[in-house]
């Protein structure tokens, strides 16, 4: 990782464009930049273009986009057009991939604590099942049956020490098989009828150091050699998992994807090729790095309050982006139309939850803010909307895809109070009526029997 100069955090749309959009769709909403997502995807594929198929042909690399990062079918479809598959870990995520037309081995099913119906659905779709625990082999056999192709998730425990606060130390992580278990798992799976194999680990999260990222690949390459030596089994692909980081803060290092891919290639030649195991396909499950930097949460300032501190209250809240509250994560903020104003004020930027963690920024240096200002919170394209929740009766926002630099396609409408009440059946009460009468007259929750 080289020393880097601060990144310019810019916004790909203008204040005028937002004001136009807002006439029809009130803030807050997320906007994803299609062109930038496509450009980033192409760059990733180009960096790994040295990866060959099992027949030794070009084009062996695949990223299975982690659906949990941005579970919107319009996004999945455009990534599919760029050659990506889907990494799913729940039934609804499998249904989403299927709806988009992502098929068979284009789907990686990397789950944990998995219920039978998910294994059954994954097997039905022909997805690659990635096993998280040794006991799941028997469970899979009894419920869905053992597929021909199986992948195992490895947890290196204390053998890997670059842990990070989000995913933590591997020895404390709930995921994957230990070294001894994974060796046994391959032979057991073979006895149960599997004939093709993959190897997976995800041991970094939001990691921006190329050397550490590549080191995770090195660890898996060595394990593939050991599996071959001890069991005679050759894995046909190695799945490096997700975890490529992005620079949330302008002073964060930006991963040099070409440098990372070169380092992985170096380990591949040194370990896989030298031991006569090539070709092994390299795949990954990157989510954050694929869409994260290309999403923006747009929100209006409701109130500016001066108390013991100065507060900017937005119309967005933790329901729209949870990372700052959950992890204390930094998300850059641009005030539209005030980009050139002096940065001479300090604010906590908050949402409206009755929960003091509901802050997008704490003691952030910003230009002077007035009520009605438009704020853009950066890097919300992954683990942003997706983590939303309805605590305090807060509703999730709309999502837009920005296309051709200026068209905004609504790819998910905002929730309404009706959506919030949709799962209730309270003594025949018509909550949809409640939703319509919101705010005007305090509604009676009547019993219409």
Ligand X SMILES: *Cc1c(COP(=O)(O)O)cnc(C)c1O
Q: With contact defined as beta carbons under 8 Å apart, do 316 and 351 qualify?
A: yes
Q: Which two tokens stand for residue 328?
A: 């204390």
Long-range contacts for 157-162 (Cβ within 8 Å, ≥24 apart)?
159/219, 160/203, 160/216, 160/219, 162/203, 162/204, 162/207, 162/209, 162/212, 162/215
75 binding ligand X? (CB under 6 A)? no
**Which region holds residue 88: left if phi is over 0, alpha if psi is between -120 and 50, else beta?**
beta
What CA–CA distance (Å, rounded) separates 257 from 375?
A: 30
- Cβ closer to ligand X: 212 or 349? 212
Rounded to a whole number of angstroms, the minimum distance from the CB of residue 232 to ligand X is 28
- Cβ closer to ligand X: 257 or 382? 382
Rounded to a whole number of angstroms, the minimum distance from the CB of residue 292 to ligand X is 7
Which one of residues 69, 76, 261, 376 is an interface residue with ligand X (CB under 6 A)? 69
Q: Name the catalytic one among 88, 151, 317, 354.
A: 354
Q: With contact defined as beta carbons under 8 Å apart, do 297 and 13 qualify?
A: no
Segment 160-199, which members bind ligand X (CB under 6 A)? none
- Cβ closer to ligand X: 87 or 133? 87
Cα–Cα distances in angstroms (integers) from residue 435 to residues 20, 352, 397, 440, in the given order: 26, 19, 16, 11
Known catalytic residue: 354? yes
Rounded to a whole number of angstroms, the minimum distance from the CB of residue 248 to ligand X is 12
Binding mask 348-377 for ligand X (x = CB under 6 A): ------------------------------
Interacting span for ligand X (CB under 6 A) from 65-73, 266-274, 321-329, 427-435: 65-73
- Cβ closer to ligand X: 34 or 285? 285
Which one of residues 63, 72, 110, 299 is an interface residue with ligand X (CB under 6 A)? 110
Which one of residues 21, 31, 51, 66 is an interface residue with ligand X (CB under 6 A)? 66
CA atoms within 13 A on the CB side of 65: 36
Binding residues: 243, 285-288, 323, 327, 355
- Cβ closer to ligand X: 264 or 382? 382
Interacting span for ligand X (CB under 6 A) from 177-185, 241-249, 305-313, 354-362: 241-249
- Cβ closer to ligand X: 284 or 375? 284
What CA–CA distance (Å, rounded) separates 284 from 66?
A: 9
Rounded to a whole number of angstroms, the minimum distance from the CB of residue 165 to ligand X is 13
User: Nearest-CB residue to ligand X?
Assistant: 242
Binding residues for pyridoxal 5'-phosphate: 243, 285-288
Rounded to a whole number of angstroms, the minimum distance from the CB of residue 110 to ligand X is 4
Binding residues for substrate: 288, 323, 327, 355
Which one of residues 147, 170, 243, 247 is an interface residue with ligand X (CB under 6 A)? 243
Segment 284-313, which members bind ligand X (CB under 6 A)? 285-288
- Cβ closer to ligand X: 112 or 403? 112
Interacting span for ligand X (CB under 6 A) from 66-74, 304-312, 396-404, 429-437: 66-74
DSSP track, 27-52: SPEEEEEHHHHHHHHHHHHHHTTT-B
Answer positive or negative: Cα dihedral of 270, 276, 277, 283: positive
Which one of residues 73, 147, 170, 242 is an interface residue with ligand X (CB under 6 A)? 242
Q: Which two tokens stand for residue 445?
A: 């929750």
What CA–CA distance (Å, rounded) separates 199 from 283?
A: 10
Of 340, 326, 320, give the one whose Cα is nearest residue 395.
320
Show the CA angle centred on residue 286, arms to residues 382 and 2, nearest 5°.
Answer: 95
Beta strands in 39-100 (DSSP E): 62-66, 85-88
Binding mask 372-391 for ligand X (x = CB under 6 A): ----------x---------
90 binding ligand X? (CB under 6 A)? no
Segment 418-437, which members bind ligand X (CB under 6 A)? none
Q: With contact defined as beta carbons under 8 Å apart, do 417 and 398 qualify?
A: no
Q: How is residue 191 annotated by DSSP?
A: H
What CA–CA distance (Å, rounded) separates 250 from 245?
A: 13
Cα–Cα distances in angstroms (integers) from residue 324 to residues 24, 41, 167, 362, in the given order: 29, 26, 16, 9
Q: Which two tokens stand for residue 448?
A: 């219409």
Rounded to a whole number of angstroms, the minimum distance from the CB of residue 64 to ligand X is 8
Rounded to a whole number of angstroms, the minimum distance from the CB of residue 407 to ligand X is 27
Distance of CA 154 to the CA centre of its chain: 20
Which residues are part of the catalytic machinery?
Answer: 354
Binding residues vs ligand X (CB under 6 A): 66, 68-69, 87, 110, 202, 205, 241-244, 285-288, 382
């Amino acid at each position: 990782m080289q020393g880097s100069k601060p990144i310019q955090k810019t916004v790909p749309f203008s204040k005028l464009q937002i004001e136009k959009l807002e006439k029809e769709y009130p803030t807050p909403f997320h906007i994803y930049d299609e062109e930038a997502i496509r450009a980033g995807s192409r760059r990733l594929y180009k960096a790994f273009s040295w990866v060959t198929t099992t027949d030794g042909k070009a084009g062996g690399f695949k990223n299975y986009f982690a659906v949990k990062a941005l579970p919107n079918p319009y996004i999945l479809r455009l990534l599919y057009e760029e050659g990506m598959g889907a990494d799913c870990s729940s039934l609804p995520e499998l249904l989403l991939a299927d709806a988009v037309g992502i098929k068979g081995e284009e789907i990686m099913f990397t789950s944990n604590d998995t219920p039978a119906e998910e294994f059954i659905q994954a097997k039905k779709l022909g997805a690659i099942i990635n096993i998280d625990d040794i006991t799941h082999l028997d469970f899979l056999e009894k419920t869905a049956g053992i597929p021909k192709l199986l992948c195992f998730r490895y947890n290196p425990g204390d053998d890997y020490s670059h842990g990070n606060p989000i995913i933590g130390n591997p020895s404390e992580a709930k995921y994957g098989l230990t070294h001894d278990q994974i060796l046994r798992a391959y032979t057991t799976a073979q006895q149960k009828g599997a004939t093709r194999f993959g190897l997976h680990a995800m041991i970094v999260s939001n990691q921006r150091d190329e050397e550490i990222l590549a080191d995770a690949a090195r660890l898996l390459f060595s394990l593939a050699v050991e599996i071959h030596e001890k069991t005679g089994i050759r894995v046909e692909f190695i799945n490096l998992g997700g975890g490529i980081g992005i620079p949330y803060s302008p002073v964060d290092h930006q991963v040099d994807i070409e440098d990372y891919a070169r380092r992985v290639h170096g380990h591949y030649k040194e370990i896989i090729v030298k031991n006569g195991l090539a070709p092994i396909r390299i795949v990954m499950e990157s989510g954050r790095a694929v869409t994260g930097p290309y999403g923006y949460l747009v929100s209006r300032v409701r109130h500016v309050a001066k108390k013991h501190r100065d507060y900017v209250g937005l119309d967005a809240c933790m329901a729209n982006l949870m990372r700052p509250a959950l992890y204390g994560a930094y998300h850059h903020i641009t005030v539209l139309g005030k980009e050139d104003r002096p940065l001479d004020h300090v604010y906590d930027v908050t949402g409206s939850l009755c929960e003091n963690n509901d802050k997008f920024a704490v003691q952030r240096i910003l230009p002077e803010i007035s009520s009605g200002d438009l704020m853009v919170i950066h890097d919300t394209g992954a683990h942003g909307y997706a983590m939303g929740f309805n605590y305090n009766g807060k509703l999730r926002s709309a999502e837009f895809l920005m296309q051709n630099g200026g068209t905004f396609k609504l790819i998910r409408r905002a929730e309404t109070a009706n959506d919030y009440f949709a799962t209730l059946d309270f003594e025949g009460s018509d909550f949809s009526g409640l939703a319509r009468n919101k705010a005007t007259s305090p509604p009676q929750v009547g019993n219409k029997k």
